[in-house]
Amino acid sequence: MDQIKCPIQNHENNIERFCHFYNCAEPTRLMCETCEREQRHIATHKGWEKIKEIFEFIEKKQKNCEIDIIEQLDEQFKVLQSNFIQLRGGLELKYFLPKIKIEKYNGVQLNKYLCDLVKLPDIMEQFSNLLENFQTLIKNIVDFQIANNINCIQKADDNQQLSDYYYEQGYKLYEIDKFQQAIEVIEKSLKYNEKNIDSLWCKSTCLSLLGNQSEAIKWIDKALSLDDSDLDSLCRKSECLNQQGKHKEALIIIEKAVSIYPECIDSWFRKAECLSLLGQQIEALEILDEILMVYPNNTDFLWRKAECLSLLGKHQEAIKLADVILNVNPKHVNTLSRKAQCLSLLGLQVEAMIWINEGLLIDKNHINLLRIGAKCLSLLGKKKEAIEMIERISSQDLQTLIIKSECLFNLGKVEESLKVINQALIFYGNNLDLILKKIELLMAQREYSKALVEINKVLGNNQNNIDLLWMKGECLYRNDMELQAIQVLEQALKLNQHHPKSLLTKGNCLFFTKNYQKALQCYTQLLEENPNHLEAQDQKQQCEKHLSNK
Ligand SMILES: [Zn+2]
Ligand SMILES: [Zn+2]
C-alpha cells in the first residue's frame, strides 16, 4: 500500500496519506510528501489518515453499504416476492374453481362466482395500473444503476471478485470462532464460485469445529477433487478423519502431504500426532524430537511429546515437559490436564486434584479434566464427588464410559464396571481402549485365562502397545507360564526399558523360577526410578535373603 506513486503529475513520491473529507476539492484523495509540502488538503480541511489505516476505513464503509443498502434491498425483495406469491395464489383460488366444486354450489354461491367472472374486466383495468407501477419500478432500478455507475455481473472475473470478498468476510468470522455465521457467509462466496478452494476449506473447517465431521469431509473432498495436492485441504481431511477415530486413514492422507511438502513442519507434526494416536509412540517421538530442534519452544509440539512419553509410561519425563509449557503459559488447560493425569497415574491423586481444580477454574467444562478428576476422586474413595464430576460431562462418549467404568471399579463395584464396558462394546465395536479396559477388569477378577483370550484377539494389530504386552506377561505369569511371560515382557521393555509394571512382573517371574540374581536386577532397576515402590522393595529384600542363604 505504501509503494503506490502519487497520481499528481510531477509528484515523484509514494503516497503516505489519504483524504476522506466529504467536500474535498483537491484533484485526488491520495497525498504524498510533495502534496503536504504544497499544503494540499492540509491548508483547507481536516479528515485525512495515514495510508496504513486505509483498510480500517474501507471495512467501515463496506459495512455501511452492507447494512444500509444490500440488506435493505434483500429485505424489500423478500417482501415483494412474498406479496407476489400471495397475489398469484389468491387469484388462482378465486377464479380457478373445479367442476366438482361448482356442481355442489347452491344458487347464492353460483350467482356470486358468476358475478366475479363477469366483472373480470374491472380487475383487469386495476391490474394494468399495477403493471404500470412495476414498469416504473424496474425503470427506476435501471436509472439508479446508470446514474451511480453500478454494473451487473457480466464477466467470470466479477464472480471471482465477489467470491473472494465473501471468503474474506467468512474467514474473519471463522477467526473469531463464529463458525455458524462464517458458514452462512462462505455459502455466499460459493454461490459466486463453487470451485473456490479457500472457501471449500473454510466451510469444511467450520463444520469440523462444530463437530460435524462427515459433512466436513464431504466439502473438503470437493476441494481435493479440484486440487488433490492442496496442503491445507490434505491437513483438514486428515484432521477430520482423526476426529472420527480413523487414525490409519488420517495417516495415509498426511503422509501424502509430507511427501509433497517435506519442508512443511506442520504436516510433520500432524504425522506425529497420527502415529501417537495409532499407539506408535516411539515413531512419533522421533519426528517430534526433530521438529523440536527447529522450534524448541512450540507449545503444541512439547505438549504432544509429553503425551507420547506419558503413553509410554514415562510419566516423570512427561511432567517435566508439562512444567516447561506451564512456565510459558500457566493457563494451558490441555497441559494442566496432562500433568494431572501423569500425577494420577503415578499414584499421586491429591496432587493431581490440585491441577485439575486449577484447570477447571479456567474451563469448567473441560471433558478431560472432568474425566481425570472423577477418576482421582474415585481412587481417593470420594464416591459422591466422583459420580458428581462424571455427571458434569454432558456427552456419553466412549472415553466417558471408560472413566465411568473405572470409577465404579475403584469404588469396588467390579461387576457393574464390567457391565458398562460390555454395553459400550456393543456400541463401539472393536475399540481398543474398551478391550484394554475389559482385559484390565478380567484381570482384577483374577480371570487370567479369559483375559488372555481377549489379549490375543487384539495383540496382532497392536504389537507396540506396551500396556497390552505387560498385560499378556502378567496373565501368563499368573497362569504359571513364566518363560513365555518373560519373552513378552522383554518385548515391552524394548519399547521402554524403565516400564515399571513390566519390570515388576519380569522380576516376579524370575523370582518364582528361583533366578534370584536376575530378579534382583529387575527390582533394583525399578527402584532406581521409583524408590518408593513398596512391592519392589519387599521383593528385593526377599531376593537378597535367598541369595545370602546360599
Ligand atoms: Zn482533501
Ligand atoms: Zn502528491
Ligand with an atom nearest the CA of residue 16: 2
Tens digits of pLDDT across the chain (550 residues):
668 999 999 999 999 999 999 999 999 999 999 999 999 998 888 999 999 999 999 999 999 999 999 999 999 999 999 999 999 999 999 999 999 999 999 999 999 999 999 999 999 999 999 999 999 999 999 999 999 999 887 788 889 999 999 999 999 999 999 999 999 999 999 999 999 999 999 999 999 998 888 999 999 999 999 999 999 999 999 999 988 888 899 999 999 999 999 999 999 999 999 999 988 999 999 999 999 999 988 899 999 999 999 998 899 999 999 999 999 889 999 999 999 999 999 989 999 999 999 999 999 888 889 989 988 998 888 877 888 888 787 666 777 888 888 888 887 888 888 888 888 888 777 778 889 889 999 999 899 999 999 999 989 888 889 999 999 999 999 999 999 999 999 999 999 999 999 999 999 999 999 999 999 999 999 999 888 889 999 999 999 999 888 6
Radius of gyration of the chain from Cα atoms? 36
Position 395 scores a pLDDT of: 65
Ligand with an atom nearest the CA of residue 21: 1
Position 427 scores a pLDDT of: 79
Nearest 5°: the CA angle 173, 179, 182 is 50
Beta carbons of 192 and 223 less than 8 angstroms apart: no
Q: What is the distance in A from the centroid of ligand 1 to the CA of 62?
A: 21
Q: What is the distance in A from the centroid of ligand 2 to the CA of 28?
A: 9
Position 2 scores a pLDDT of: 65
Q: What is the distance in A from the centroid of ligand 1 to the CA of 42?
A: 7
Q: What is the distance in A from the centroid of ligand 1 to the CA of 26?
A: 6
Distance CA 353, CA 391 (A): 17
Distance CA 474, CA 451 (A): 10
Beta carbons of 410 and 385 less than 8 angstroms apart: no
Beta carbons of 525 and 510 less than 8 angstroms apart: no
Which helix (H) or strand (E) segment is 49 a member of? strand 48-50
Ligand with an atom nearest the CA of residue 7: 2
Distance CA 50, CA 285 (A): 49
Ligand with an atom nearest the CA of residue 42: 1
Distance CA 423, CA 487 (A): 34
Position 486 scores a pLDDT of: 95
How many other C-beta atoms can be found within 10 angstroms of the C-beta atom of residue 183?
A: 21
Q: What is the distance in A from the centroid of ligand 1 to the CA of 55?
A: 18
Q: What is the distance in A from the centroid of ligand 1 to the CA of 28?
A: 8
Q: Please give the ipTM for the structure prediction.
A: 0.94
DSSP state of 105: -
Q: What is the distance in A from the centroid of ligand 2 to the CA of 56?
A: 22
How many other C-beta atoms can be found within 10 angstroms of the C-beta atom of residue 524?
A: 14
Q: Residues whose CB is under 5 A from ligand 2 (ion)?
A: 6, 8, 11, 32, 34-35
Which helix (H) or strand (E) segment is 204 a member of? helix 197-209
Ligand with an atom nearest the CA of residue 46: 1
Cell of 211: 463437530
Q: What is the distance in A from the centroid of ligand 1 to the CA of 12?
A: 19
Position 26 scores a pLDDT of: 92
Residue type, 86: Q
Beta carbons of 203 and 187 less than 8 angstroms apart: yes
Q: What is the distance in A from the centroid of ligand 2 to the CA of 252?
A: 57
Q: What is the distance in A from the centroid of ligand 1 to the CA of 40?
A: 7
Q: Which residues contact 171 (CB under 8 A, 6 or more apart)?
A: 182, 198, 202
Position 439 scores a pLDDT of: 93
Q: What is the distance in A from the centroid of ligand 2 to the CA of 35?
A: 4
Q: What is the distance in A from the centroid of ligand 1 to the CA of 64?
A: 21
List, as own/partner pairs, every contact residues 314-321 make where C-beta atoms lie below 8 angstroms and the sequence separation is at least 24, other chains included: 314/496, 314/498, 315/342, 315/343, 315/345, 315/346, 316/342, 316/346, 316/529, 318/342, 319/343
How many other C-beta atoms can be found within 10 angstroms of the C-beta atom of residue 139?
A: 10
Q: What is the distance in A from the centroid of ligand 2 to the CA of 282?
A: 63
Q: What is the distance in A from the centroid of ligand 1 to the CA of 18?
A: 8
Q: What is the distance in A from the centroid of ligand 2 to the CA of 148?
A: 28
Q: What is the distance in A from the centroid of ligand 2 to the CA of 32?
A: 4
Distance CA 208, CA 238 (A): 11
Residue for grid cell 515437559: 321
Position 415 scores a pLDDT of: 86
Ligand with an atom nearest the CA of residue 31: 2
**342 exposure class (CB count in 10 Å sphere: 0-12, 13-18, 19+):** buried
**338 exposure class (CB count in 10 Å sphere: 0-12, 13-18, 19+):** buried
Which helix (H) or strand (E) segment is 218 a member of? helix 213-226
Beta carbons of 13 and 6 less than 8 angstroms apart: yes
Position 550 scores a pLDDT of: 65
Q: What is the distance in A from the centroid of ligand 2 to the CA of 14?
A: 8
Number of helices (H), then strands (E), in the chain: 29, 3
